[in-house]
Structure 1
Amino acid sequence: MAGTFVEFFSEEALENVMVILKYKPDRVVYVGHKSNMITKKMNSLREFVKRVSPETELKFIEVSRDNLDQIIDVLSELVERYRDAKFELTGGSELILIAFGFVSSRMPVDTLRIDPYTGMEIDFSGSSPVRIKSHIEMSVADNMVLHGGSLTNQTGSYSTWRFTDDFRQDIRAIWNISKSLRNRWNKYVSSIEEAIKNCPPDELGYFVLPKTSLGEAVMLFHRLMEIGVIRDFHIAKRSISFRFKNEMIRHIVTKTGNILELHVYDVATRDNSRFTDAIIGAMIDWNGSQKNTVPVSNETSVSVDTINEIDVILMRDTIPTFISCKSGKAGSIALHELQTVTSRFGGKYANKVLVMATPCENNASGISFFKQRAKDMHIWVIDDVYSMSDEALLQKLIKIQGINM
């Protein structure tokens, strides 16, 4: 534990917790205005601290938005009360910073700033600033709690996928088939999904599907048999029969977009040194532990949850990248959905990426209106992944993590 820190409460949740993540201090005192230091944000901060630094005590002090003298008095009192305190200067309104400048010119105060992008700490306490390199990490789950949400148990990393070496090999083999089929992959998988809905397996997991419901998709089963992800494959006059290697393979072959999501996740996490945490199929509960309720009668009410899914989330230290994957065409709705979720659970520090298996369509002049719209929204677009090597995709993801548009 590392004494007391004073933080100027920020609209950006990440700016409020850098000293907690690095120092796990005894106490953090937040100074802010009522307009931004609202109960919901304070409760989210408390829930976050319970996870990452449960021994840290939090205090919240509200100051006026327009009374400079009152803010000066509050800050002066804090300097006197907590003589070992360090003041962290990342957040805060202009008036609070002006007041602090006045106080620090009259009283000795230790100050520092930690850059959320790089983790670099600058200590201003001495005669000249001292830069200290820091490696500060936060998990995807912690980031959700910090922003007032949570990952549900339906999140793919928890409920559906187990990334063994064997499964990663299967992902790569199926991805190669998908690349060779391109647009036909979605067509064939949609046919298989519909056929399986109408013809459930027997108690041993064997499927018997009529050829008439599959059409050209029958050829995909031959390819899947060759790489060993379907077993006991037989073709009769009017039907085919088989069983999947495991449930994860069934999920890939019966939902068009899953293979692209798995490919992106596999490429990003193959070398664990690139990203510090990753989640696939993130099911985000917007309310986290702070549930909303609506009345259903005079005496009872029910909890109402808002749930969104983000295909892949990558973390580089404390910076999240939210990735939406589209195996077919994408429109403006996809951009707005990604924008909304990222703004809510990442703020200004988060990266937003739309990954597309096929190329963006250009207009007659060769300009993609869609790409321009995405750029205006500060959303990166990685398209035509079918034509891209694994290394090329990885380098694009790494570049996005290190460069801000």
Structure 2
Amino acid sequence: MRTIIELYDERPVENILSTEVFRPERTIILCDREIYQNKSLQSKMRRFLRHRGIESKLVFLQTEIYDTERILAKLNAVIKRYPDCVLDITGGTDAALFAGGLICAKTNLPAFTYSRKRNRFFNIHNAAFADGLECHVQYSVEDCILAAGGAMRTGRVDNSLLYKYAEHFDEFFSIYLKYKSSWTKTIGFIQRASAAGKDEPISLSVRSAYEVKGERGSLIPAPEDALREFERIGFIKHLSIKRGKSVSFRFKDVQTRAWLRDVGSVLELYIYKQCLDCGVFQDVRTSVIVDWEGDLRRENVTNEIDVMASRATIPIFISCKTCAITTEALNELAVLRDRFGGKFAKAVAVTSQRCRSITSHRAS
């Protein structure tokens, strides 16, 4: 196979998956004027193919994607120049698909499609090579983001080191459940007790009064039992509590310091571990920073995804909340799913609090 014709689709993977599987010399993408003039988008698609080790050439041809006659004319021109071409009708507008059907009825042009649900290619017309062909392509979390024209930045967590801590994540979550009602105060105490001055370096050693100032002039006493639990699982060490007077301990390292100073980290780490343990996903990451433009400039729009996983070519976006989930949070998650995953991507909101029925309804 030397030439694949693609009907441009807003779902990123639909435009490149066949190229990855069949590795043609060239892929010709029929698109509208906006996409034809969008050199940045085209560059990102070529960058992704290079990232995946694919040398196929991408050629963009402009047409009116809602005008069947114009699409037919463009298809005829492509067939005349590349008589060995095949047509992928996985994506595209209704007019483009109709035009593809018409031209297949008049010629022997091979046509095939891909089913995300079955993860297989199927012969539509004269394309026996694709009939029932299983797709073995697997995307990492970063691949899913790159395929949609974005980029992945370094987040709060070094995912390459998480295996060192994973055995303690279930215990960490159990501690959270045990002290759930006072968790915000527990983390609040640690935040204030370990706060560094403006020009001071971050220290792993903590020495604090037994009570620290909370919000609105309140005092937060040392959460003795929770601190002892943190010491038991190895997140802190050298714990010394002088009731009513002082508290001192040392964080295991910078990473555990960050987790014990952040209210929501415990749920994120637990969900991350559950995604790993279920054995369904080929890649799982936490604290994924998505750069919308993909060029990593400082001024670009970014979003952080608490946990993200991928299965085959489908990304799953997971938002973790130890507080009640808001409509705004659901909307933000849906936007990320649609922008970087498309129709078959999944968005999941996880909360340790009861949801209002209206929120559950909106989520579904």
Contact 1:117 1:319 in 2 (8 A): no
Alignment of 1:167-178 (within 5 A): 167-178=165-176
- Per-residue deviation at 1:235? 2.0
- Tell me the TM-score normalised to structure 2 length: 0.89
> Aligned with 1:74: secondary structure?
helix
Deviation at 1:327, TM superposition (A): 0.8
Q: Which residue of 1 aligns with 2:283?
A: 277
In the alignment, is the contact (CA less than 8 A) between 1:14 and 1:116 conserved in 2?
A: no
Would the aligned equivalents of 1:11 and 1:36 in 2 still touch at CA under 8 Å? no
Match of 2:362 among 368, 373, 395: 373
Query: How far off its partner does 1:307 sit?
Result: 1.3
Q: What letter is aligned with 2:293?
A: N
Contact 1:207 1:241 in 2 (8 A): yes
* Cα distance in structure 2, aligned partners of 1:204 and 1:53: 44
Query: Aligned with 1:263: secondary structure?
Result: helix
Letter of the 1:266 counterpart: K
Kept in 2: contact 1:120–1:133 (CA 8 A)? yes
AA aligned opposite 2:361: Q
Asked if 1 retains the 8 angstrom alpha-carbon contact of 2:6 and 2:27, the reply is: yes
Secondary structure at the aligned position of 2:29 is classed as strand
In 1, the alpha carbon distance for the partners of 2:296 and 2:158 equals 23
Q: Distance in 1 between matches of 2:58 and 2:116?
A: 20
Check conservation: 1:47, 1:146, Cα contact below 8 A: no
1:236 pairs with 2:242: yes
Matched, 1:306 2:301: yes
Change over 3 Å in CA distance of 1:157–1:113 after alignment to 2: farther
- For structure 2, list consecutive stretches of 5 or more residues without a partner in the other structure: 213-219
Alpha carbons of structure 1 residues 67 and 125: separation in structure 2 relative to 1, 3 Å: closer
The aligned residue for residue 122 of structure 1 is: 122
How many angstroms apart in 2 are the aligned matches of 1:15 and 1:27?
A: 16
Partner in structure 2 of residue 11 of structure 1? 10
Q: How many residues align?
A: 353
The aligned counterpart of 2:334 is 339
Q: What is the root-mean-square deviation in Å for CA atoms of aligned residues? A: 2.5
SS at match of 1:96: helix
Tell me: CA distance 1:177–1:38, structure 2 relative to 1, closer, same or farther (3 Å): farther
Could you say which residue in structure 1 is the equivalent of 2:24? 25
Deviations 1:271-309 (A, max 9, x none): 5x4101122101111111285xxxxxxxxxxx6211110
Is 1:245 the equivalent of 2:268? no
What displacement does 1:350 show?
1.2
Kindly indicate whether residue 91 of structure 2 is the aligned counterpart of residue 84 of structure 1. Answer: no
Letter in 2 for 1:206: S
Partner SS for 1:241: strand
TM-superposed CA distance for 1:111, in Å, is 1.2
Q: Is the 8 A contact 2:179 2:226 kept in 1?
A: no
Q: 1:104 is matched with which residue?
A: 104
Maintained 8 Å contact 1:192/1:217: no
Question: 2:210 matched to which residue of 1?
Answer: 211
Identity of matched residues, %: 24
- Distance, in Å, in 1 between the alignment partners of 2:203 and 2:190 is 19
* CA positional deviation for 1:31: 0.9
- Specify the alignment match of 2:231 in structure 1: 225
Q: 1:36 to 1:117 in 2, by over 3 A?
A: farther
In 2, the alpha carbon distance for the partners of 1:204 and 1:11 equals 48
Partners of 2:224 and 2:241 within 8 A in 1: no
Gaps of 5+ in 1: 292-302, 362-367, 376-405
Q: 1:117 and 1:34, CA in 2 relative to 1: closer, same or farther beyond 3 A? A: farther
